[in-house]
Protein backbone atom coordinates (compact mmCIF):
# COMPACT_ATOMS: atom_id res chain seq x y z
CA UNK A 1 0.00 0.00 0.00
CA UNK A 2 1.45 3.33 -1.06
CA UNK A 3 2.28 5.75 1.71
CA UNK A 4 0.36 9.04 1.60
CA UNK A 5 2.42 11.95 0.33
CA UNK A 6 3.50 14.41 2.96
CA UNK A 7 2.33 17.95 2.37
CA UNK A 8 5.16 20.41 1.98
CA UNK A 9 5.42 22.85 4.87
CA UNK A 10 5.50 26.49 3.80
CA UNK A 11 7.92 28.51 5.87
CA UNK A 12 7.37 32.19 6.54
CA UNK A 13 10.30 34.42 5.68
CA UNK A 14 11.19 36.23 8.89
CA UNK A 15 13.19 38.74 6.83
CA UNK A 16 10.07 39.63 4.84
CA UNK A 17 8.10 39.74 8.08
CA UNK A 18 10.56 42.22 9.57
CA UNK A 19 10.21 44.44 6.51
CA UNK A 20 6.41 44.36 6.86
CA UNK A 21 6.65 45.24 10.55
CA UNK A 22 9.00 48.15 9.83
CA UNK A 23 6.70 49.48 7.11
CA UNK A 24 3.42 49.17 9.02
CA UNK A 25 1.11 52.16 8.56
CA UNK A 26 0.17 54.12 11.68
CA UNK A 27 -2.67 56.53 12.39
CA UNK A 28 -1.93 59.66 14.39
CA UNK A 29 -3.81 59.49 17.71
CA UNK A 30 -3.97 63.29 17.91
CA UNK A 31 -1.52 63.40 20.82
CA UNK A 32 2.27 63.35 20.52
CA UNK A 33 2.71 61.69 23.91
CA UNK A 34 0.05 59.09 23.05
CA UNK A 35 1.83 58.40 19.74
CA UNK A 36 5.08 57.98 21.67
CA UNK A 37 3.38 55.52 24.04
CA UNK A 38 2.33 53.45 21.01
CA UNK A 39 5.82 53.74 19.44
CA UNK A 40 4.56 55.93 16.60
CA UNK A 41 0.78 55.76 16.57
CA UNK A 42 -2.14 53.38 16.13
CA UNK A 43 -0.94 50.42 14.06
CA UNK A 44 -2.83 48.97 11.13
CA UNK A 45 -2.71 45.20 10.75
CA UNK A 46 -3.42 44.24 14.35
CA UNK A 47 -5.99 44.36 17.16
CA UNK A 48 -5.71 47.17 19.69
CA UNK A 49 -8.04 46.91 22.67
CA UNK A 50 -8.88 49.77 25.04
CA UNK A 51 -10.66 49.01 28.31
CA UNK A 52 -11.78 51.23 31.14
CA UNK A 53 -14.79 52.70 32.89
CA UNK A 54 -17.30 55.08 31.33
CA UNK A 55 -16.04 58.50 30.15
CA UNK A 56 -12.33 57.69 30.12
CA UNK A 57 -11.73 58.37 26.40
CA UNK A 58 -12.11 54.99 24.72
CA UNK A 59 -14.77 56.06 22.22
CA UNK A 60 -13.14 59.47 21.77
CA UNK A 61 -9.95 57.79 20.59
CA UNK A 62 -12.03 55.83 18.08
CA UNK A 63 -13.67 59.01 16.78
CA UNK A 64 -10.27 60.72 16.50
CA UNK A 65 -8.84 57.76 14.56
CA UNK A 66 -11.73 58.06 12.08
CA UNK A 67 -10.73 61.66 11.34
CA UNK A 68 -6.98 61.15 11.30
CA UNK A 69 -7.22 58.09 9.06
CA UNK A 70 -7.80 60.49 6.16
CA UNK A 71 -4.59 62.32 7.03
CA UNK A 72 -2.80 59.01 6.48
CA UNK A 73 -4.56 58.44 3.14
CA UNK A 74 -7.56 60.42 1.85
CA UNK A 75 -8.94 57.29 0.16
CA UNK A 76 -9.07 55.19 3.32
CA UNK A 77 -12.38 54.37 5.05
CA UNK A 78 -13.57 53.17 8.45
CA UNK A 79 -16.10 50.45 9.24
CA UNK A 80 -17.66 51.46 12.56
CA UNK A 81 -19.68 48.81 14.44
CA UNK A 82 -21.67 50.66 17.10
CA UNK A 83 -23.17 48.37 19.75
CA UNK A 84 -24.03 51.03 22.34
CA UNK A 85 -25.65 53.73 20.17
CA UNK A 86 -22.79 56.03 21.17
CA UNK A 87 -21.74 57.22 17.70
CA UNK A 88 -22.43 60.90 17.05
CA UNK A 89 -21.88 62.51 13.65
CA UNK A 90 -21.79 65.94 15.31
CA UNK A 91 -18.83 64.82 17.43
CA UNK A 92 -17.01 63.59 14.33
CA UNK A 93 -17.53 67.02 12.74
CA UNK A 94 -16.05 68.76 15.81
CA UNK A 95 -13.01 66.49 15.81
CA UNK A 96 -12.47 66.79 12.05
CA UNK A 97 -12.47 70.59 12.33
CA UNK A 98 -10.03 70.39 15.22
CA UNK A 99 -7.69 68.15 13.26
CA UNK A 100 -7.90 70.21 10.07
CA UNK A 101 -9.67 67.53 8.05
CA UNK A 102 -12.68 68.11 5.77
CA UNK A 103 -15.61 67.07 7.97
CA UNK A 104 -17.79 66.07 5.02
CA UNK A 105 -15.11 63.72 3.70
CA UNK A 106 -14.63 62.21 7.15
CA UNK A 107 -18.36 61.51 7.50
CA UNK A 108 -18.47 60.01 4.00
CA UNK A 109 -15.51 57.76 4.84
CA UNK A 110 -17.27 56.15 7.82
CA UNK A 111 -19.47 53.15 7.10
CA UNK A 112 -21.61 52.90 10.23
CA UNK A 113 -23.48 49.77 11.33
CA UNK A 114 -25.80 49.94 14.36
CA UNK A 115 -25.82 46.59 16.15
CA UNK A 116 -28.72 45.81 18.46
CA UNK A 117 -27.99 42.25 19.63
CA UNK A 118 -25.31 39.60 19.97
CA UNK A 119 -26.73 37.74 16.98
CA UNK A 120 -26.50 40.85 14.79
CA UNK A 121 -22.92 41.29 15.93
CA UNK A 122 -22.06 37.68 15.12
CA UNK A 123 -23.70 38.02 11.69
CA UNK A 124 -21.80 41.18 10.71
CA UNK A 125 -18.45 39.76 11.84
CA UNK A 126 -19.13 36.61 9.81
CA UNK A 127 -19.60 38.91 6.79
CA UNK A 128 -16.49 40.96 7.55
CA UNK A 129 -14.28 39.22 5.00
CA UNK A 130 -16.86 39.75 2.24
CA UNK A 131 -17.30 43.40 3.24
CA UNK A 132 -13.57 44.06 3.03
CA UNK A 133 -13.37 42.24 -0.29
CA UNK A 134 -16.02 44.53 -1.75
CA UNK A 135 -14.73 47.66 0.03
CA UNK A 136 -10.91 47.45 -0.19
CA UNK A 137 -10.47 51.05 1.00
CA UNK A 138 -11.67 50.09 4.48
CA UNK A 139 -8.45 50.07 6.50
CA UNK A 140 -9.84 50.60 10.00
CA UNK A 141 -12.52 48.57 11.79
CA UNK A 142 -13.86 49.92 15.09
CA UNK A 143 -16.05 47.85 17.41
CA UNK A 144 -17.50 50.02 20.17
CA UNK A 145 -17.97 47.97 22.30
CA UNK A 146 -17.20 44.30 21.67
CA UNK A 147 -18.66 42.93 24.89
CA UNK A 148 -21.75 45.07 25.56
CA UNK A 149 -24.44 42.77 24.12
CA UNK A 150 -22.76 39.61 25.40
CA UNK A 151 -22.74 40.96 28.96
CA UNK A 152 -26.40 41.97 28.71
CA UNK A 153 -27.69 38.76 27.12
CA UNK A 154 -25.51 36.07 28.75
CA UNK A 155 -25.83 36.62 32.48
CA UNK A 156 -24.36 34.59 35.31
CA UNK A 157 -22.00 31.64 35.47
CA UNK A 158 -24.47 29.29 33.77
CA UNK A 159 -24.06 31.22 30.50
CA UNK A 160 -20.34 31.92 30.84
CA UNK A 161 -19.14 29.02 28.71
CA UNK A 162 -21.50 29.87 25.84
CA UNK A 163 -20.60 33.56 26.08
CA UNK A 164 -16.88 32.85 25.90
CA UNK A 165 -17.39 30.46 23.01
CA UNK A 166 -19.21 33.14 20.99
CA UNK A 167 -16.52 35.69 21.89
CA UNK A 168 -13.73 33.31 20.83
CA UNK A 169 -15.39 32.61 17.47
CA UNK A 170 -15.80 36.34 16.75
CA UNK A 171 -12.20 37.08 17.65
CA UNK A 172 -10.94 34.18 15.54
CA UNK A 173 -12.78 35.55 12.50
CA UNK A 174 -11.48 39.05 13.18
CA UNK A 175 -7.94 37.69 13.41
CA UNK A 176 -8.31 35.92 10.06
CA UNK A 177 -9.55 39.14 8.44
CA UNK A 178 -6.58 41.12 9.79
CA UNK A 179 -4.14 38.57 8.39
CA UNK A 180 -5.75 38.67 4.96
CA UNK A 181 -6.64 42.36 4.54
CA UNK A 182 -4.06 44.06 6.81
CA UNK A 183 -6.67 46.29 8.43
CA UNK A 184 -6.37 47.82 11.85
CA UNK A 185 -8.99 46.80 14.40
CA UNK A 186 -9.79 48.99 17.40
CA UNK A 187 -11.94 47.36 20.08
CA UNK A 188 -13.35 49.07 23.15
CA UNK A 189 -14.00 46.90 26.16
CA UNK A 190 -15.73 47.31 29.49
CA UNK A 191 -14.42 46.52 32.96
CA UNK A 192 -15.60 44.52 35.93
CA UNK A 193 -14.66 44.84 39.60
CA UNK A 194 -12.50 42.15 41.18
CA UNK A 195 -14.10 41.54 44.61
CA UNK A 196 -10.98 39.74 45.86
CA UNK A 197 -8.69 42.73 45.33
CA UNK A 198 -8.48 44.64 48.59
CA UNK A 199 -5.72 47.05 47.57
CA UNK A 200 -4.98 48.88 44.34
CA UNK A 201 -7.18 49.28 41.29
CA UNK A 202 -10.00 46.67 41.32
CA UNK A 203 -10.98 47.21 37.66
CA UNK A 204 -10.28 44.28 35.34
CA UNK A 205 -11.13 43.96 31.63
CA UNK A 206 -14.10 41.78 30.73
CA UNK A 207 -13.68 38.93 28.26
CA UNK A 208 -11.16 36.97 30.33
CA UNK A 209 -8.13 35.26 28.84
CA UNK A 210 -9.78 34.80 25.45
CA UNK A 211 -9.78 38.52 24.66
CA UNK A 212 -6.37 38.97 26.30
CA UNK A 213 -4.80 36.39 23.97
CA UNK A 214 -6.23 37.91 20.78
CA UNK A 215 -5.34 41.57 21.43
CA UNK A 216 -1.87 42.51 20.20
CA UNK A 217 -1.94 45.67 22.33
CA UNK A 218 -4.08 46.33 25.42
CA UNK A 219 -4.65 49.84 26.73
CA UNK A 220 -6.15 50.68 30.11
CA UNK A 221 -7.89 54.07 30.26
CA UNK A 222 -8.70 55.88 33.49
CA UNK A 223 -9.38 59.40 34.70
CA UNK A 224 -6.68 61.22 36.66
CA UNK A 225 -6.51 64.47 38.60
CA UNK A 226 -8.17 67.51 37.11
CA UNK A 227 -10.11 65.40 34.62
CA UNK A 228 -7.00 64.48 32.65
CA UNK A 229 -7.07 61.05 31.07
CA UNK A 230 -4.44 58.36 31.53
CA UNK A 231 -3.65 55.58 29.07
CA UNK A 232 -1.44 52.68 30.06
CA UNK A 233 -0.10 49.87 27.88
CA UNK A 234 -0.76 46.80 30.04
CA UNK A 235 0.28 44.21 27.47
CA UNK A 236 1.65 44.25 23.93
CA UNK A 237 3.51 41.99 21.54
CA UNK A 238 5.36 44.89 19.90
CA UNK A 239 5.66 47.89 22.25
CA UNK A 240 6.88 48.26 25.84
CA UNK A 241 4.60 48.81 28.82
CA UNK A 242 4.18 52.40 29.93
CA UNK A 243 1.62 55.12 30.46
CA UNK A 244 0.91 58.70 29.47
CA UNK A 245 -1.46 61.55 30.26
CA UNK A 246 -3.61 63.03 27.50
CA UNK A 247 -6.58 65.35 27.12
CA UNK A 248 -9.97 65.15 25.43
CA UNK A 249 -10.78 68.48 23.81
CA UNK A 250 -13.43 69.69 21.39
CA UNK A 251 -11.00 68.62 18.67
CA UNK A 252 -10.64 65.08 20.01
CA UNK A 253 -7.62 63.41 21.60
CA UNK A 254 -4.77 65.86 22.18
CA UNK A 255 -1.85 66.64 24.51
For 215, other C-beta atoms within 10 Å of its C-beta total 25
Q: How far apart are CA 115 and CA 123, in angstroms?
A: 10
Instruction: Map residue 156 onto helix, strand or coil.
Output: coil
In this predicted model, what pLDDT tens digit does every residue of 171-183 receive, in sequence order? 999 999 998 999 9
* C-beta of residue 219 within 8 angstroms of C-beta of residue 48: yes
What is the predicted pLDDT for the residue at 155? 84
What is the predicted pLDDT for the residue at 12? 82
Report the mean per-residue pLDDT for the chain.
92
Per the structure, the count of domains in the chain is 1
* C-beta of residue 240 within 8 angstroms of C-beta of residue 233: yes
Q: Does residue 202 have a pLDDT over 80?
A: no
In this predicted model, what pLDDT tens digit does every residue of 89-135 receive, in sequence order? 999 999 999 999 999 999 999 999 999 999 999 999 999 999 999 99
Asked if residue 12 is part of any domain, the answer here is no
184, 194, 174: which is closest to 24 by C-alpha? 184
For residue 154, the enclosing domain spans: 27-254
- pTM value? 0.92
Radius of gyration of the chain (CA): 19
Asked if residue 13 is part of any domain, the answer here is no
What is the predicted pLDDT for the residue at 110? 98
CATH of the domain at 113: 3.40.50.300
Least confidently predicted of 46-50, 101-105, 141-145, 237-241: 237-241
Amino acid sequence: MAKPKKEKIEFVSTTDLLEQENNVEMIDTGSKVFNDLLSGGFRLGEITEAYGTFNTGKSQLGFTLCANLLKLNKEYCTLFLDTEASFRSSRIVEIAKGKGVDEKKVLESIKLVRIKSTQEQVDIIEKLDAILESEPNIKLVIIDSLIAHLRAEYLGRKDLVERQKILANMLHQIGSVIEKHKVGVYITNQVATDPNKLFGDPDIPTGGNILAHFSQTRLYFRTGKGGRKIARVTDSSCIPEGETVFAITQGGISD
